[in-house]
């Protein structure tokens, strides 16, 4: 392998350029609508965290971590015990991702709130950030994270990571969390570049986590912890590698693109492309269904068919379905189009499997948490429909922005056939409104906390830009109070 000289490295100081932008980012330098959207993304993340804090796998995570972690200064949703910053980031990130209701980015798949928010909450409480931190400071830091993660992902061709078996979000998320925490701490350019390097050298997660077990829920939280750890070390003067995005030998992009058969294998310019002009904060999608985002188009095509042909989709008519064909993008087919090997699926497996997701939409006309109960995961009619489902790669959905689209053909035993498709699910064009996000938050939150507490959290988050440094105490107290089990 030929090693390039320092002067020959491609990218023209890309990592430093990103670090400088993070350091110089101010609320005044971004459109008001971006700040407003950031507040709503934080609110959505908190709503998901409240719902996810006491589901069975989250309870196991909390018990396991509590058994060995000492007390600390950092709040954990629904827990009276406080933890050190890294443990708190893991727990809160796991809770936000616990039910597959949290946000996602369609062009560079990651769940931003489960990465950025835990890093920021723990960062403020652990160190007071080394300076007074207002709600506005936290909001600007969140935007730094929301903007960084997708750019790192686009440099690696976004969904391509999923086709190769990487869990893309925890990989793209390490620099996102580092960016957010660095901005929160007020680090300089060199320290921020160090934090990015320290975070990126910890990146990695396997998509085989989707088939069984509980660990898929925690992998985005690894990124929250890793980025926060990078910023904490850099803040203390510990130096990370420079030029982590540009380096062809051992660099972040070079290594995670290895074997992708793309030309070029990665696009370093995407890391800093459009900073301050293109706002990925506005391109983060809000989930309306409790499953992998790539199957949302499939769900909504089935909804259309059910509405257009109600007589064909009554429960007693579903056994007359002979075959269901589901066309998906390359990334989503690889990610979600797998054939179940055993019955029943686990909760994680059900939320990651296109055949199961489609089957419960047909039987229950919704895909929410109750569709992943133990009883439903072993339902005879659901499994009859799973066995009749064939997923395939449809190149139509490999076009830009269509990765979560779907084409569905359903054949019945009398020869009748239906077909419909969508290029993308709801929330792409136009995006889900802030009003819709508030409605989703209220529905989620009131399923596990009382209405007064729900409203207090909403009022605080939506006024972050007006709050002084005491906001974190108020928010922490609201988050740590007990929550209900949304799956009870």
- Contact predicate 404/329, CB 8 Å: yes
Helices (H), 269-411: 296-308, 330-336, 347-351, 354-364, 374-377, 380-387
| Per-residue exposure over 399-431, b if at least 16 CB sit within 10 Å of its own CB, e if not | eeebbbbbbbebbeeeeeebebbbbbbbbbeeb
Strands 406-412 and 417-422, by their bridges, are: antiparallel
Q: How far apart are CA 162 and CA 335, in angstroms?
A: 6
CA atoms within 13 A on the CB side of 212: 6
Question: Hey, what CATH topology would domain 293-422 get?
Answer: 60s Ribosomal Protein L30; Chain: A; (3.30.1330)
Phi, psi of 170 (to 5 degrees): -65, -25
- Alpha-carbon 281 to chain mean position: 13
Closest to 93 in 3D by CA, of 158, 177, 175, 167: 177
State which H helix or E strand residue 422 sits in. Answer: strand 417-422
State which H helix or E strand residue 473 sits in. Answer: helix 471-480
CATH classification number, 6-288+447-480, choose in 1.20.1730.10, 1.10.4100.10, 1.10.287.3510, 2.70.70.10: 1.10.4100.10
Q: How far apart are CA 193 and CA 184, in angstroms?
A: 14
Q: How far apart are CA 260 and CA 244, in angstroms?
A: 19
State which H helix or E strand residue 57 sits in. Answer: helix 56-66
* Two domains, one topology: 6-288+447-480 and 293-422: no
pLDDT of residue 3: 45
Tokens of 384: 């009859």
pLDDT of residue 130: 66
pLDDT of residue 129: 57
Q: How far apart are CA 156 and CA 153, in angstroms?
A: 5
- Contact predicate 50/448, CB 8 Å: yes
Strands 417-422 and 389-393, by their bridges, are: unpaired
Confidence (pTM): 0.95
Domain boundaries of the chain, sorted by first residue: 6-288+447-480, 293-422
State which H helix or E strand residue 21 sits in. Answer: helix 14-24
- Alpha-carbon 245 to chain mean position: 22
Which one-letter DSSP state was computed for residue 273? T
pLDDT of residue 9: 52
- C-alpha separations of 262 from 157, 258, 266, 267 in Å: 9, 9, 8, 10
pLDDT of residue 12: 59
Q: How far apart are CA 469 and CA 137, in angstroms?
A: 9
pLDDT of residue 131: 77
Task: Kindly give the confidence (pLDDT) of every residue in the chain, 488 residues in length, as a single tens digit, with 9 standing for 90 and above.
Answer: 444 444 445 545 999 999 999 999 999 999 999 999 999 999 999 999 999 999 999 999 999 999 999 999 999 999 999 999 999 999 999 999 999 999 999 999 999 999 999 999 999 998 765 678 999 999 999 999 999 999 999 999 999 999 999 999 999 999 999 999 999 999 999 999 999 999 999 999 999 999 999 999 999 999 999 999 999 999 999 999 999 999 999 999 999 999 999 999 999 999 999 999 999 999 999 999 999 999 999 999 999 999 999 999 999 999 999 999 999 999 999 999 999 999 999 999 999 999 999 999 999 999 999 999 999 999 999 999 999 999 999 999 999 889 999 999 999 999 999 999 999 999 888 899 999 999 999 999 999 999 999 999 999 999 999 999 999 999 999 999 999 988 87
- Residues forming a β-bridge with 71: 83
pLDDT of residue 429: 81
């Amino acid at each position: 392998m030929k090693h390039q000289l320092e002067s020959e490295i491609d990218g023209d100081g890309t990592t430093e350029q990103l670090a400088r932008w993070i350091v110089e980012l101010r609320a005044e330098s971004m459109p008001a609508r971006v700040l407003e959207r950031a507040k709503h993304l934080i609110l959505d993340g908190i709503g998901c965290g409240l719902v996810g804090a006491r589901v069975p796998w989250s309870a196991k995570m909390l018990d396991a971590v509590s058994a060995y972690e000492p007390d600390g200064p950092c709040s954990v949703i629904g827990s009276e015990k406080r933890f050190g910053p890294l443990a708190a980031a893991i727990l809160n990130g796991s809770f936000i991702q616990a039910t597959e209701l949290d946000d996602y980015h369609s062009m560079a798949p990651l769940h931003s709130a489960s990465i950025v928010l835990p890093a920021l909450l723990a960062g403020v409480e652990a160190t007071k950030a080394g300076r007074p931190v207002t709600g506005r400071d936290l909001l600007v830091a969140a935007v730094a994270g929301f903007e960084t993660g997708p750019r790192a992902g686009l440099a690696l061709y976004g969904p391509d990571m999923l086709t190769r078996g990487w869990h893309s979000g925890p990989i793209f998320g390490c620099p996102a969390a580092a960016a957010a925490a660095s901005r929160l701490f007020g680090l300089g350019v060199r320290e921020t570049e160090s934090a990015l390097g320290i975070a990126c050298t910890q990146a990695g997660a396997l998509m085989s986590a989707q088939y069984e077990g509980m660990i898929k829920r925690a992998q985005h939280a690894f990124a929250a912890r890793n980025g926060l750890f990078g910023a904490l070390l850099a803040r203390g003067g510990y130096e990370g590698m420079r030029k982590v995005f540009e380096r062809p030998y051992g660099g972040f992009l070079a290594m995670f693109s290895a074997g992708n058969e793309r030309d070029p294998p990665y696009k370093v310019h995407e890391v800093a492309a459009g900073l301050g002009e293109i706002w990925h904060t506005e391109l983060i999608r809000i989930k309306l269904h409790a499953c992998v985002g790539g199957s949302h188009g499939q769900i909504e095509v089935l909804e259309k068919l059910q509405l257009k042909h109600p007589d064909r989709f009554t429960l007693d008519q579903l056994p007359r379905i002979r075959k269901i064909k589901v066309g998906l993008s390359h990334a989503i087919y690889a990610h979600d189009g797998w054939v179940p090997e055993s019955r029943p699926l686990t909760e994680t497996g059900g939320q990651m499997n296109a055949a199961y997701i489609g089957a419960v939409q047909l039987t229950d006309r919704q895909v929410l948490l109750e569709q992943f109960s133990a009883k439903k995961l072993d339902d005879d009619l659901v499994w009859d429909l799973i066995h009749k489902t064939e997923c395939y790669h449809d190149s139509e959905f490999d076009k830009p922005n269509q990765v979560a689209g779907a084409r569905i053909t359903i054949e019945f035993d009398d020869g009748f056939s239906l077909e419909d498709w969508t290029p993308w699910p709801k929330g792409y064009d136009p995006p889900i409104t802030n009003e819709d996000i508030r409605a989703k938050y209220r529905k989620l939150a009131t399923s596990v906390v009382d209405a007064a507490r729900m409203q207090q959290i909403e009022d605080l988050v939506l006024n972050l830009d007006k709050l002084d440094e005491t906001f974190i105490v108020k928010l922490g107290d609201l988050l740590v109070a007990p929550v209900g089990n949304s799956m009870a």
